[in-house]
Amino acid sequence: MNTDVGDLPVAPQWFRFTVLDERTTLIEEPHVRGLLRANAWHLRGRNRDLLVDCGLGVTALAPLLLERFGREPVLVLTHAHLDHMGSAHEFSDVWAHPLEPIDDPAPGSLHGPALAAQMGLDETLPSALLTARPHGDYDLSTYRVRPATRTRALTDGDLVDLGDYALTVLHLPGHSPGSIALFDQTTGTLFSGDVIYDDVLLDSLPGSDIRQYARSLRRLRNLPVRVTQPGHGRSFGRDRLHHLIDSYLHSVRNSG
């Protein structure tokens, strides 16, 4: 497909919802190119619903969730990168670690070379980081990450209580200073954000720290994680989690 911005088609539906079980719905933006195609996770609780991350923010998400689930969820941001907090300004309750600058995020861009420069990436990114537009008059050049208001500061060990179950906040810096994951100790399910996913881990972005990243992954390896629901790509089990962690730690040792 021609990736010139003017030639992008209009997507008939921007978000894709996949129900995994009675509690968990995966929300994706299939018309976003690989680097920025992130997962958001909607978790149904007895007393409240939870949304883990919220995508790029190129079109409204909160009204769709209200229509689909009947109430607005609390939004937990695993970190403040554009592909995870783009829609955060739409939500009334936004929880994040205090080290993540959600009130003053990097502006972001949907133009590949501009974003690569912002993020300090060596790789060449496509001109348009979308394969479609959310509506006919959408202009990719106007995209900016809008600031959000943090209503609760999350720190390591905090509980996110949904009424019938709770998730534990894990502060796992490295990808960013305030990167967090959420761990359901009852089921062994980890919502990992960008701390771990099944691809090359980005540890050279502004705010990244390789030593902290390695320390965070060593900690994560010792937890009884059964399944990881990552910020990008497919879910994976314990063996794959350990392989990804061991591969990263091996590469860090060899490079140091």
Domains, the chain, in order of start with CATH, read 5-255 (3.60.15.10)
CB distance 129 to 33 below 8 Å? yes
What CA–CA distance (Å, rounded) separates 168 from 186? 10
DSSP state of 52: E
Closest by CA to 192, choosing from 245, 252, 119, is 245
> How, if at all, do strands 94-96 and 74-76 pair?
parallel
Phi and psi, residue 141, nearest 5°: -70, -15
Mapping DSSP to helix (H, G, I), strand (E, B) and coil, where does residue 111 land?
strand
CB distance 220 to 173 below 8 Å? no
Instruction: Supply the pTM of this predicted model.
Output: 0.95
Each residue's pLDDT tens digit, 1-14: 334 455 899 999 99
What CA–CA distance (Å, rounded) separates 181 from 174? 12
pLDDT at position 256: 63
pLDDT at position 5: 55
pLDDT at position 241: 98
Each residue's pLDDT tens digit, 159-201: 999 999 999 999 999 999 999 999 999 999 999 999 999 999 9
Each residue's pLDDT tens digit, 9-55: 999 999 999 999 999 999 999 999 988 999 999 999 999 999 999 99
Closest by CA to 156, choosing from 144, 167, 168, is 168
pLDDT at position 6: 58
DSSP letters of 164-229?
S-EEEEEE--SSSTT-EEEEETTTTEEEEETSS-SS-----STT--HHHHHHHHHHHHTS---EEE
- Per the prediction, the chain carries an average pLDDT of 95
